[in-house]
Structure 1
Amino acid sequence: MTKHPIIHQAPSPDRQPNVEDYPALCARFRWADAQAELDGLPGGKLNIAHEAVDRHVLHGAGDKTAIRWIAKDGTVRPISYAELKTQSDRFATLLHQLGVERGERVFSLLGRVPELYAAVLGTLKAGAVYSPLFPAFGPEPVKARMQIGACRVLLTTETFYKRKIVPIRQELPALRHVLIVGPISEALPDDVHSFDALMAQATDGPGIVATAPEDPALLHFTSGTTGKPKGAIHVHQAVLAHHISGKLALDLHPDDIVWCTADPGWVTGTSYGIIAPLTNQTTMIVDEAEFDAARWYQILQDQKVSVWYSAPTAIRMLMRAGAELASKYDLSALRFLASVGEPLNAEAVLWSQDVFGRAFHDNWWQTETGAIMLANYATGDIKPGSMGRPLPGITAGIVERLPDGGVREITAPDTPGELALRSGWPSMFRGYLDEAERYRKCFADGWYLTEDLASRDADGYYWFVGRADDMIKSAGHFIGPFEVESALVEHPAVAEAAAIGVPDDRAGEIVKAFVTLHRGYTASDDLEKEIMAHARKTLGPAVAPRIIAIAESLPKTRSGKIMRRLLKARELGLPEGDTSTLEAFA
């Protein structure tokens, strides 16, 4: 793979970064000390919503804007911390009046609307467990998650209710109430209520339930490769990791305007589209509309966004739109850019440095980790293509699984193995709902095993190799698809790439790559040969793809992850497994 120049970052002259001396901070960091940044509740209790909203109001910041909501038509509505407190209090009261008990699950099937944010926080205040659903899900993936989670209350719209819930309603025995956000055009069953009407009646309530740090708070689903979705359980103690990772990995300060573009139906949209920005007392941008390059640049300019957290898929779409479009906007307020969802190719990091004058900082985490675990920080070097270094308080390692079920840590630099984390950080998932054995298998010898393959260089930076089940074994060589893909996107014609292994009589497997093209390029045999030659020159013949196919699009989840296993299943005629999180793909 091409070695890219290190990007040296100087501290901002007008702001003291939250991570100035990374080694020193790691040496002195203790989670118990970090806990002092939160208020907590009497008697050692803890509630995410209190730390996100109520404590700021109690300390005199109620008038500050918590959310700046942008409607599809461009209308901007500011929501203060005090208003968010009031609305979330009312929703907690509403749940109590509906008979929702502690630990019961409240699901949302909504887009980016103001009611969602009050409902998330109100659910936590009521001691219930919040679980988001992606609005583009059809009835079947909605049913699977609601059945696993034993959903008691669903928050949705009339349109979604009719299209996605009515066809499966009889298969959801735990569901007691559906709350409809927005207008209702016709009479609905008795267990379907107007959100607005109930909120108008819910005034006084019991206040925040005194939840314990280990009480369940969030239920996030992650797709199984071939089986049913897994429900990862997170507790109120996770707020400590949300807060600290927002402060250290995203360099959040109270005067920041923060835009996390993740859909609220995914874990990033909860951890960094709601909780971390609020606990750090920032102002969040929430855009109701879907991706549009010009609209995004307009928002960055008009709202003076200072911290922007997005995904590789969106970044590559901006790259395809061209630097000329970006140059039409004043993006000088931007000071920190970060990316998550899948590893960020070096090409995108260098492009952002050139176009924005700021590099996107890649970071790594999973639904199961609950918060960012590895990051590139506001100060210190960026090695384009690297996931960065562990957060203070997080111990990461590269391990090898042993036949007896244990693991051996790999200490030699640049040696691939499985990325693992020492268990016990605050946002570590506490289980898969009703799947104790599946949860147990995620751990060995005190390590959480991520199933992501990576290496660590001599400077402590981690580099993604691939998912364990994505690795390609060709003529005795183990080939990581990310290495192949990163080399391919360095070709000026290639916008995105995905590499898989396909059977070969002599080599066992050979690498086949699917690529999409930037604007201005047309698929042809000559272009395929040119891309192939570039790959062979960059990677060497043992690693380079033997077959290249130019595609209109690649299958990916809404959170930005290219679904290599789906490409392979379709290539080989195998079962496709769980495709509920898949974007439309022909």
Structure 2
Amino acid sequence: MNLVDVLRAGADAGGWLDRPAYEVDGAMLTHADVYAGAGRVAGALAGAGVRPGDRVALVLDDGPDFVLAFLGAAHAGAVAVPVNPRLHPDELRRVLDAAGPALVVGRPGFSAAGFAVAAFAELDGGEPVPVTPRAPDDQVYATFTSGTTGVPRLCPQLHGDPIVHHRSFAVPALELGPDDVVHSVSKMYFAYGLSNSLFFPLLSGSRVVLNPEAPLVDDVLAIVDKYDVTALFAVPTFYRKLVAHPGGDRLAKLRIAATGGEVLSAALEERLMEVLGDRLLNGIGTTEVGQAFTHNTRAARRVGTAGRPLPPFEVRVVDERDEPVEPDVTGRLQVRGPTITLGVHEDGTAMRADDWYATGDLASIDVDGYVTVIGRLDDLENVGGIKVHPLEVENLLAGHSLVREAAVCAVADDGGSTRLLAYVVRADGPIGDDDLAESLIALARRDLTAYKVPRRVVFVPSLPRTGSGKLRRHVVRTWRP
């Protein structure tokens, strides 16, 4: 098999080959155009010396170039490696070194010392070639983890994996079909955005609206309006910006508003539901799994949770001895399933998990199987020998009407004692505000145990985030106000 063969056969059987697949800046590709273009790119890649199993790095923005280059690499039996084109040059170099591609596909004028580079335009005119047969357990693409700790890791997925993700998530949770118009704020160089904008729509016959630019609230709302988007994907912090916008009520026209990538706080969920109602569907996934493994659905939804496991994936919560805990007890979240990849072996083969994989999340599971994620284990702060999860404090502060977002971390003073600091981004008004700082500390004193109360509030214009919207807590921990 080859994933591209499976995608095209599904489009043919579903009768949507001639229907729109992608739109961007007035340009449109049908589903048939997508597969024809992939064949041309595959021919050019073969002519450039790319062989089955070679990696092809795609340093491209979301757009038709990305779609055709990705599927062209898969068509040729190569392994597509999406890379964020907005990375700092030093980080981009480290990522390319880790990927070790036979070819890098970039924008016109792009260069990468030590690597063969081609602009997409050089590939699109290739002579089409037949699809290269591959086994279901051959690699088809590899994505980098988002790097919240500063060290991204390459995680391959196999030709059969997107089919598993579609059947487990897109069908029961998203219910995507040919009448849906999809827009993903998360870009295709992340695992979440890749499935949202590539695999799921192609397997469902949906139409995708792409935005090659960095996402802005005004642009996303304009896309929702102009194209009558029915399925929107974004991280919680971006939804916060959308509903805070004067035009945020336009999101009410959506069929579903899916979110993941970080913990959805109770305060934010309540605010989002004022606009989105039961259209809001929250879940969790990891790059290692390849997509969501628990999710709320329209048929099974519980506020305050990340939904229930999506078969064939299973989840459990264990204590520090890896023993399963009782319902509603907080512990370490683990997942088991057929697509979990932990990285690559020295010979380049996929490092598959054959048992329970620890996601790094603190969570609990109730008697009905709904998962509540508390936060990340590596987010824990040590204050006077006591472990504090900053998310609890951050969610409380972010619930204030004048706060857009907050990050809390422990800072050592000159004497070696640690204290909590809260870095706060105001929703509006001046960056500094002594009255608001006092109000936030008073709020924390009222609702939290004393050792969880920040000793100081520092106002900042923004918080550092990854391209997928996750807080880069390791950066915040280096700040010295």
Length-normalised TM-score, structure 1? 0.76
Contact 1:501 1:568 in 2 (8 A): yes
- Report the counterpart of residue 330 of structure 2 in structure 1: 416
- Structure 2 counterparts to residues 86-485 of structure 1, below 5 A: 86-161=36-111, 165=112, 169=113, 172=114, 175-176=115-116, 178-181=117-120, 194-195=121-122, 198-200=123-125, 202-205=126-129, 207-222=130-145, 228-244=151-167, 245-321=169-245, 324-327=246-249, 329=250, 331=251, 333-384=253-304, 386-402=305-321, 407-410=322-325, 412-422=326-336, 424-425=337-338, 427-429=339-341, 431-434=343-346, 446-475=355-384, 477-485=386-394
- Report the counterpart of residue 455 of structure 2 in structure 1: 546
Partners of 1:227 and 1:298 lie apart in 2 by 33
Q: What's the CA shift for 1:571? A: 3.8
**Unmatched segments (≥5 aa) in structure 1:** 1-44, 182-193, 573-586
Contact 1:214 1:235 in 2 (8 A): yes
Q: What's the CA shift for 1:123? A: 0.8
Q: 1:541 to 1:520 in 2, by over 3 A?
A: same
Contact 1:235 1:430 in 2 (8 A): no
Helix, strand or coil: the match of 1:49?
helix
Q: What's the CA shift for 1:541? A: 2.3
Partners of 1:382 and 1:505 lie apart in 2 by 46
Contact 2:146 2:190 in 1 (8 A): no
- Report the counterpart of residue 61 of structure 1 in structure 2: 16
User: What letter corresponds to residue 317 of structure 1 in structure 2?
Assistant: K
Q: What's the CA shift for 1:350? A: 2.0
Is structure 2 residue 427 aligned with structure 1 residue 496?
no
User: What letter corresponds to residue 324 of structure 2 in structure 1?
Assistant: E
Q: 1:471 to 1:507 in 2, by over 3 A?
A: farther
Length-normalised TM-score, structure 2? 0.92
Q: What's the CA shift for 1:569? A: 2.5
Q: 1:281 to 1:127 in 2, by over 3 A?
A: same
After alignment, is 452-461 or 88-97 more displaced? 452-461
Q: Which structure carries more relative contact order (alpha carbon 8 Å, separation 6+)?
A: 1
Q: What's the CA shift for 1:274? A: 0.8
Helix, strand or coil: the match of 2:72?
helix
Q: 1:505 to 1:418 in 2, by over 3 A?
A: farther
Q: 1:545 to 1:241 in 2, by over 3 A?
A: farther
Partners of 1:336 and 1:255 lie apart in 2 by 13
Q: What's the CA shift for 1:313? A: 2.8
Partners of 2:138 and 2:335 lie apart in 1 by 23
- How big is each residue's C-alpha offset from its partner over 1:128-148, in whole Å with a ceiling of 9 and x where there is no partner? 000011011132222212222
Q: How many aligned positions are there? A: 480
After alignment, is 553-562 or 391-400 more displaced? 391-400
After alignment, is 458-467 or 149-158 more displaced? 458-467
Helix, strand or coil: the match of 2:303?
coil
Partners of 2:252 and 2:378 lie apart in 1 by 42
Q: What's the CA shift for 1:539? A: 2.4
- How big is each residue's C-alpha offset from its partner over 1:51-74, in whole Å with a ceiling of 9 and x where there is no partner? 3334313553211111122x2xxx
- Percent identity for Structure 1 against Structure 2: 28
Q: 1:504 to 1:453 in 2, by over 3 A?
A: farther
**Unmatched segments (≥5 aa) in structure 2:** none
Structure with the greater alpha carbon radius of gyration: 1
- How big is each residue's C-alpha offset from its partner over 1:466-523, in whole Å with a ceiling of 9 and x where there is no partner? 2222112335543222221111111111110112123479996443221111124653
Partners of 2:148 and 2:260 lie apart in 1 by 20
Partners of 1:302 and 1:461 lie apart in 2 by 36
Partners of 2:39 and 2:349 lie apart in 1 by 38
Q: 1:551 to 1:132 in 2, by over 3 A?
A: same
Partners of 2:64 and 2:429 lie apart in 1 by 40
Match 1:514 to one of 413, 417, 423: 423
Q: 1:150 to 1:230 in 2, by over 3 A?
A: same
Q: 1:129 to 1:454 in 2, by over 3 A?
A: same
Helix, strand or coil: the match of 2:391?
helix
- How big is each residue's C-alpha offset from its partner over 1:170-197, in whole Å with a ceiling of 9 and x where there is no partner? xx3xx33x2213xxxxxxxxxxxx52xx
Q: What's the CA shift for 1:527? A: 0.8
Contact 2:11 2:202 in 1 (8 A): no
- Structure 2 counterparts to residues 529-540 of structure 1, below 5 A: 529-540=438-449
User: What letter corresponds to residue 77 of structure 2 in structure 1?
Assistant: G
Q: What's the CA shift for 1:228? A: 4.8
- Report the counterpart of residue 525 of structure 1 in structure 2: 434
Partners of 1:91 and 1:276 lie apart in 2 by 22
- How big is each residue's C-alpha offset from its partner over 1:23-48, in whole Å with a ceiling of 9 and x where there is no partner? xxxxxxxxxxxxxxxxxxxxxx3x22
Q: 1:87 to 1:54 in 2, by over 3 A?
A: farther
Contact 1:375 1:389 in 2 (8 A): yes
Q: What's the CA shift for 1:105? A: 0.4
Partners of 1:436 and 1:571 lie apart in 2 by 41
Helix, strand or coil: the match of 1:240?
helix
Helix, strand or coil: the match of 1:158?
coil
User: What letter corresponds to residue 182 of structure 2 in structure 1?
Assistant: V
- How big is each residue's C-alpha offset from its partner over 1:246-290, in whole Å with a ceiling of 9 and x where there is no partner? 122323123211111212222222122211121122111112333
Q: What's the CA shift for 1:119? A: 1.1
Partners of 2:95 and 2:229 lie apart in 1 by 35
Partners of 1:557 and 1:224 lie apart in 2 by 7
Q: 1:518 to 1:290 in 2, by over 3 A?
A: same
- How big is each residue's C-alpha offset from its partner over 1:99-122, in whole Å with a ceiling of 9 and x where there is no partner? 211110011111122121011111
Helix, strand or coil: the match of 1:569?
coil
Q: What's the CA shift for 1:314? A: 1.6
Partners of 2:350 and 2:30 lie apart in 1 by 42
Helix, strand or coil: the match of 1:408?
coil
Q: What's the CA shift for 1:530? A: 0.2
